[in-house]
Structures are given as structure tokens and as C-alpha cells.
Amino acid sequence: MQTDQKRMVVIAEVHEQAPLDRRRYQAMSDTLSEQARRAIAVAYSDNTRRAYVAAWDRFCQAVGPSRAMPATPETVANYLAMLAEEGKSVATIRLAAAAISAAHRAAGDVDSPCSSPVVKTALKGISRQNGQAQIQASALDAAALDAIRATAMLPRTGRRGVPEAPDYATARGQVDIALCSVLSDGGLRRTEAAALTWGDVETAANGSGRVRLARSKTDQEGEGEVVAITASTVQALDAIRNGAGMEDSVFGMSESTIARRVKAAAAAAGLGNQFSGHSGRVGLAQRMTAAGASAQAVMVQGRWKNAGTVARYTKGIQAGAL
């Protein structure tokens, strides 16, 4: 087992520098993640074991086994931030961090990402924010999307006071429009949007489309789920493809970059600073509820398991308002 663990660490380091057979890498990552799961199962008391195994499984489902073990501090910090955006309690978030740390310790030679200042700072910030009134991400609804589409391609001024070149602003704005549109139409999580390739995008005869999600938190079998996107979103995606291949990433962004781009696009449109990578999911829930959809229908479309999450997102939204 130690030999396999050392080999996995070497593979992870090489993977950062050179292409590697994806199926081989995935198989070894899956094996190590399962080894970590079994190690947790025998190392703790019954209650702690059950809680850690469940939390570890949720982490693997959210980020994928190949990124779960070994996990980078950035992957863990982004995951914990996502839990906070979903309204999970500080206790639940700290349990997730403890389970991730326990899995890495159980794996032997793999360092725990939770000892990194990045993760510690994220936990501190989450705890501090939770001590205040929880602020829900603003919704990427139709009005917000219209405002972003109208302003996204305008040149912005950078931190050093230098304005963007017009061509750069146009290209950047087209990506922002496509990203915000996909997040809103499909209620995608940041991890799902970051994982999209062009092979996951299909166009129908009527101009609308579908997006296949390779993995999601609620997709227990890992078979993928399909969500619908509108014709305007298909057009926005077509505008940024530029001859990319089926296996190429649609957005080429990490989860944290996706969150920053949404926030910046909303701020540039004058929508305030409460937008995040989770705003598309809030927008989907509110839009469906206002159109008269049942809570169960919203849960299915948004791939939510917890009805309480939908209720929180749609509080104050009148059913049938659209």
C-alpha cells in the first residue's frame, strides 16, 4: 500500500508538467481514494467513522477522485467555500475539512492540504462570516443577465489604472456572457462549469441546446446528467468556441476564477458585489419558482437533495409571478 501511495504522489507531480494517460491516472486515483476511505473506516469510533466517511464521499463526488487524493489546498478551500455558499453550517464545513485531513493522514505519505495556510484562512473567513447574518448570493436572473450582456464587452480599467484594449475587452466580455448564461440556464456549480468540454455541449434543431455534466454531487453513479440551455446561451457559446476541439475546455477556468469572473461581470454591470459562482443556482431556483414550478421540480432541475436549500433561495419569491 505504501508503494502505491508513493507512486500516486509521483504521478500527481508529473501530471502537473506533462500529459498522462487519463484512464490510467483516473484508475489509480480511484484506488487511492477508496484506500483512504477504508483507512478512515478502521481508524475511528463508529460515530466519527460514519461522519468522516460520509463527508469524504461527498468531497470525492464534488471534485472527482483524481482531485480528491491528493487534494491541493486550493481544491479544498474552494470546496469549503462552496459548502458555505450552499448554506452549510460551520460545524458541517469543519467536519468536511477534518474528514479530508483524516483521509490524507490515513494515506500515509500524502500531506494533508488542510494544514496549508490557504485552507486555514478559508476556514477562518467562513467562521467569521457565519457569525454575522448569512448573506445569500444574488441571483443571476433574467434582469441580471440582460445587464451583464449590455456591459460585459466594455473596456474595464485594471488595478494599475490601465484600461483594457478594445479587442481584449470584447473577447473577455464574450466569455463572461457565455459563462453567466450557462450558469444561470443550467444552475451549474462552479465545479461543473470548470469541468465542461465542448464535447459536453449539444445543439438542437430549434437552436436550443443541452449540456452534459460529467459529474455532480448528486450523481452517485458518475454517469453524468443533462441540463437544458436556451438558444441565446448556445449562441453565446458559439461566439467563444473559435474552432476548439471536442475535448477542449469550454471556459478554461478554475472554480475560483469562475467565481471572480461572475463577481466582476456583475459589478461592472452595476449590480452590486453579492454575486458569486453560486449566483446561477440561486437564479435558477428563483426563476423556476416564479414561473410556478413546484419545489420538487426545482430540486430535480437544480440537482438539489435538500429542500431546505431551495426554500432558502426562493424565500419571498411568489409562485407564478412570471
Looking up residue 220, the CATH number of its domain turns out to be 1.10.443.10
Same domain? For 208 and 302 the reply is yes
For 81-119, the pLDDT digits (tens) are 888 877 777 778 888 888 888 888 777 656 788 888 888
pLDDT of residue 130: 61
pLDDT of residue 103: 80
pLDDT of residue 5: 39
Question: Is residue 320 situated within a structural domain?
Answer: no
* Winning range, highest mean pLDDT, from 82-86, 108-112, 221-225, 261-265: 261-265
Same domain? For 153 and 24 the reply is no
Question: Is residue 67 situated within a structural domain?
Answer: yes
Between 83-92, 183-192, 218-227, the lowest mean confidence (pLDDT) is in 218-227
**E strand or H helix that includes residue 54:** helix 46-63
Same domain? For 148 and 252 the reply is yes
Question: Is residue 235 situated within a structural domain?
Answer: yes
Q: What residue numbers bound the domain in which 254 lies? A: 142-313
pLDDT of residue 13: 33
SS3 205: coil
Same domain? For 66 and 185 the reply is no
The terminus-to-terminus CA distance of the chain in angstroms comes to 58
Identify whether the C-beta of residue 321 lies closer than 8 Å to the C-beta of residue 290: yes
Same domain? For 45 and 108 the reply is yes
Same domain? For 151 and 232 the reply is yes
Evaluated on CA atoms 313, 233, 216, 26, the torsion sign reads negative
Last residue of a domain, one of 131, 151, 175: 131
Between 13-22, 62-71, 299-308, the lowest mean confidence (pLDDT) is in 13-22
pLDDT of residue 132: 47
Question: Is residue 184 situated within a structural domain?
Answer: yes
Same domain? For 46 and 114 the reply is yes
Quickly tell me which residue has 449562441 as its cell: 235
Task: Please name which of 96, 158, 143, 157 lies closest in space to residue 122, comparing C-alpha atoms.
Answer: 96
Question: Is residue 49 situated within a structural domain?
Answer: yes
pLDDT of residue 128: 73
66 has a pLDDT exceeding 80:
no
Which CATH number do you get for residue 7? 1.10.150.130
Same domain? For 173 and 268 the reply is yes
pLDDT of residue 8: 35
Same domain? For 13 and 123 the reply is yes
Please give the residue that has the higher pLDDT: either 245 or 110.
245
Same domain? For 57 and 196 the reply is no
Please give the residue that has the higher pLDDT: either 225 or 261.
261
Task: Please name which of 186, 182, 179 lies closest in space to residue 224, comparing C-alpha atoms.
Answer: 186
For 129-181, the pLDDT digits (tens) are 665 445 578 888 888 999 999 999 999 987 788 889 999 999 999 999 999 99
Number of domains in the chain: 2
Same domain? For 172 and 288 the reply is yes
Q: What is the pLDDT of the chain when averaged over all its residues?
A: 78
34 has a pLDDT exceeding 70:
no
